[in-house]
Structure 1
Amino acid sequence: MRHRFPSRGLALTYAAGGLVDGVMFNALNTFLFFYLSTATKIPVDVAAIILAAAVVVDAIAAPLIGSASDNLRGRFGKRLPFMLMALPFAIWSIHGVFALPDAPVHVLVPQLAVLAIVARLSLSMFQLPHLALGADMALPYERRSRLTALRWFCNICGGLIAVLGGLAWEVTGAEAGDPAAFERFAVLLPCVVAAGGVSGSIAAWRLKPTSSPGTSGGKNAGLSLLVSFVQAVRNPTFRLLVLGSGVFFAGFSIGNMLNLYTKIRFWQLNQTEVSCVLLASFTGLLGAAPVAGWIVRWFEKKTVACAGLIGFIMVQAGPVTLHLFGALPFAQFQIAMMLSITSVMGGLALGLTGATLNSMIGDIADEHRLLYGSNLQGTFYGATAFANKLANGLGIAFTGLALDLLKFSPSDGLDEAETFAVGLLYGPIGGGLSLIALIPLMRYRIDRHEHARIVAALGTQSH
């Protein structure tokens, strides 16, 4: 099999497409619930249910999108049409969801539902074919990780832009609940999405001649989608990875949804301290990109992913758990400094896990092609997204219902019992659930030697 690695310019053009999901994922997951609960009239529990429903709808659609992109035929390739179709809807929805009008609840609820669903679906319709495009290239073990790490770096840059923009209104306008404070944020997001989308689409156009053929298409395209999905689920290695990834995301979504509340209400950080802690996390995430590309030369991907997962859980759950039980007797400025340091470490750990898991999906696609003769990169990314997003939606719904049971009010201060409950959700419950992901991930069996054997066997088949 011939190993192809794009030129530096083309690799960067491809990787810049990661700005789309970096901006949208962080805006939707980190800031949207906070925005809805402080600057709109929508009740907290209703907002949580709508956001969870949008994630579940997206989860159902994700494997269909991935399978469809595997089976598409045409002169524009099999990835580019989906990306071009998704981009205008992504731009429209990510603006609209942060620019809701001052209207009654019965008007806002359906509008939010439509915008949230469109935002999630358009994100998947761009992201999944774009991820599969990178896996389409027949790259060896380490080079695939390098390309994945480069895309991860651009993804985190997009997330950093979202956080910096979000801080501009979260720090100054969120407490007052002034919707006008969000206007610049709602303008910034679609601009970055458009830039990343255009760059990723250019790369898809230039790389389309190298795309590997799918499974089947034509008149039986609908049946092909089902066959592709069933084939992907049959792969035992893939089942281990998707189970571990899904369980991790269930716990991660709980902490992610409560991220700002934990920093502001539980830790009682001021505006400057919140900004420092959030930016420290992205410093670690950005550092993970070059580290991930280097570290897989010395360690197996499974080892890196599991070590990163353990490190992230320790950072997320450790300080909160210690503080809950009075084992963290620091002054306020010491807590802020500690959280900044641990956030760098947690960002680095999360980045290593995310980058290596994405690279492992490509390796599984190679194994599947050898075992079953089917090229299902998009299907594997879509099925993984299905599990992750379904778990994410369940985590969001669980957190929203838990806050509702606590009679949580964003405009009021938390009493001692409510503070303890929020910390318990964020730390021990979310972190403990994520820790279970290690059980299936430790059984993953494709190492560099096994992947080299797979690539050699595929090369023999092609001759």
Structure 2
Amino acid sequence: MTTLSASKSSIAFGKRSAGTLSAGSPSSDEKSSAGRLVRFSTLAAPVAAANMPLAVYLPPIYARDFGLSLGAIGLIFLIGRLWDAILDPLIGSLSDRTRSRWGRRKPWIAAGSLLFALSSCALFFPAGAITPTSLVTILFVFYIGWTAIQIPYLAWSGEISGQYHERTRIATYQTVLTSVGLFAMLVLPTLADQIRPGDGRLQLGLMGGMLLATLLPGVILTLTAFDEPAPLFPPERFSLGQSLRSVFANKLLLRVLASDFAVTSGQSIRSALIVFYVSFYMGRPEWAAGLFLFQFVFGILAGPIWMRIALRFGKHRTAVAGELVQVAINLGLLLVTPGNFALLLVLTLAQGLAQGSGNLMLRAMVADIADKHRLETGEERSGLYYSVFSLSMKAAQAVAIGIALPLVAWLGFKANGTNSQAALDGVKLVFALGPALAHALSALLLARFPLDEAAHAAIRRQLDTVPADLVPAE
């Protein structure tokens, strides 16, 4: 572990504004109750669930039911994603520098929730005609509100406790609630199709209703679950250049970001091709949506399983193990033939139980890296670090789709025509080998990761022993 020199350490300690936790937060050696962690994690459900309609359902519904051209919709949602990419590090850095009587993260979450709710009403319950201009305006506000919740919320989750393993527990509860929210968003449009097939307004209403119904209790329960820990350092003047340098100069953070990029790429390749694989290669189109739901059901159980493993072996070792399991599962797909659907079901069940193991551990590791940076430099960067973590995930989703779909097309596959056996085998190879290689790369990047439990404990001992007379008044 890199440590400060004595002179630099004294300077850093002299800059600190607080070294203790607020009254409503657990102490450094205290475990939070399951009830409080569930309360804190409830906001994860609507925040994560919002991604599903934006990525899958809204574009075709707005094209089919509201008459917008596919070209206009594609451009609008691309602009929205670019705007989102700008907002992530901006709001992350600004929330790091926020100081208020309510804390750094809570004001952003509260204000973001209001914008998120208002824009969701306009997005999911359109009162009149939708034009490209009105859709751009709605998405502009929606992304501000969504990001103002998501990034400070992730940063706060890494600050509730300084304990190495407690951070794994917190991330696990959030992961489980995230899976529940995503599962609900997968089921609701399916139910709408059973009631009134092809009714986009009904699908929008059910999805929007789910978001709004879970948002208000989620905000209240989350904001009252814990008090925010007081920041260790006073706020700095915002500098985009300095913020970017602190990201690109942090080698451990870059390893985690690269690993997460690989993990998410593998998952996104699988998601992008699963309908084609099941419908065309396996010849079972009636299972295309059901198999995805089948995987998600078991994915809800995955978080607690991997948490138990991580509490025994540590985060990075568990992440490596999880990624190697994913490699084995995806290579197993090479053995599946159209006549062996039972083997595909078994591998899908295993995929669900391994789902998110890497993402979960990597998210918890970001907070440990932020602690190391805080000790070495006296800079608060949790919000910024979680914002670039979110960016790496979003970039991986876009890149994976941009590679997987053109690749299977290059191999001869046609989504609306007759396919040769060679083209179908090409879909199978990309569906199996793409994720396998991505998860193998993720495991390789995390091998021998130096910031383990012992190294982090040494960092926390230095961060937690701040003399009271060195704490300046706010």
- Normalized against structure 2, the TM-score is what? 0.79
**CA deviation vs aligned residue, 1:165-189 (integer Å, no higher than 9, x gap):** 1322567877xxx3x1x33331222
In 2: Cα distance, 1:310 partner to 1:257 partner: 21
SS of residue matched to 1:210: coil
* Structure 1 pair 142–462 and aligned structure 2 pair: CA distance change class (3 A): farther
Matched, 1:192 2:210: yes
Query: Quick one: which amino acid aligns to residue 235 of structure 1?
Result: N
In 1: Cα distance, 2:448 partner to 2:72 partner: 40
Matched, 1:154 2:177: yes
* Structure 1 pair 27–311 and aligned structure 2 pair: CA distance change class (3 A): farther
Indicate conservation of the 8 Å contact 2:281/2:427, yes or no.
Answer: yes
* Structure 1 pair 443–46 and aligned structure 2 pair: CA distance change class (3 A): farther
Query: Quick one: which amino acid aligns to residue 267 of structure 2?
Result: F
In 1: Cα distance, 2:447 partner to 2:47 partner: 28
Residue 456 of structure 1 deviates from its aligned partner by 1.6
Partner of 1:257: 272
Residue 156 of structure 1 deviates from its aligned partner by 0.7
**CA deviation vs aligned residue, 1:387-412 (integer Å, no higher than 9, x gap):** 222232333444566688899986x3
* Structure 1 pair 17–74 and aligned structure 2 pair: CA distance change class (3 A): same
Indicate conservation of the 8 Å contact 1:252/1:431, yes or no.
Answer: no
Residue 121 of structure 1 deviates from its aligned partner by 4.6
Partner of 1:294: 308
SS of residue matched to 1:284: helix
Q: Which has the larger radius of gyration?
A: 2
* Structure 1 pair 383–357 and aligned structure 2 pair: CA distance change class (3 A): same
Partner of 1:384: 389
Matched, 1:340 2:345: yes
1:358 to 363, 375, 395: 363
* Structure 1 pair 354–414 and aligned structure 2 pair: CA distance change class (3 A): farther
* Structure 1 pair 256–276 and aligned structure 2 pair: CA distance change class (3 A): closer
Q: What stretches of structure 1 of length at least 5 have no aligned partner? A: none
The equivalences for 1:191-230 within 5 A come to: 191-206=209-224, 209-213=227-231, 215-217=233-235, 221-223=237-239, 226-230=241-245
In 2: Cα distance, 1:146 partner to 1:109 partner: 43
**CA deviation vs aligned residue, 1:252-309 (integer Å, no higher than 9, x gap):** 33332334343334433243x3454223212222112211321112112112112222
* Structure 1 pair 384–11 and aligned structure 2 pair: CA distance change class (3 A): same
* Structure 1 pair 388–328 and aligned structure 2 pair: CA distance change class (3 A): closer
Residue 441 of structure 1 deviates from its aligned partner by 2.2
**CA deviation vs aligned residue, 1:202-234 (integer Å, no higher than 9, x gap):** 2454367433327544xx6433x5534432432
The equivalences for 1:227-306 within 5 A come to: 227-271=242-286, 273-306=287-320
Q: What stretches of structure 2 of length at least 5 have no aligned partner? A: 1-19, 21-26, 469-474
The equivalences for 1:82-161 within 5 A come to: 82-91=108-117, 118-161=141-184
Matched, 1:72 2:72: no
* Structure 1 pair 56–422 and aligned structure 2 pair: CA distance change class (3 A): farther
Partner of 1:455: 460
**CA deviation vs aligned residue, 1:6-39 (integer Å, no higher than 9, x gap):** 4443322111011023311233345456657877
Partner of 2:12: none
In 2: Cα distance, 1:41 partner to 1:306 partner: 47
Provide the aligned C-alpha RMSD in A: 3.6
* Structure 1 pair 406–110 and aligned structure 2 pair: CA distance change class (3 A): farther
Residue 382 of structure 1 deviates from its aligned partner by 0.6
SS of residue matched to 2:52: helix
Indicate conservation of the 8 Å contact 1:83/1:126, yes or no.
Answer: yes
* Structure 1 pair 50–221 and aligned structure 2 pair: CA distance change class (3 A): same
Length, aligned pairs only = 441
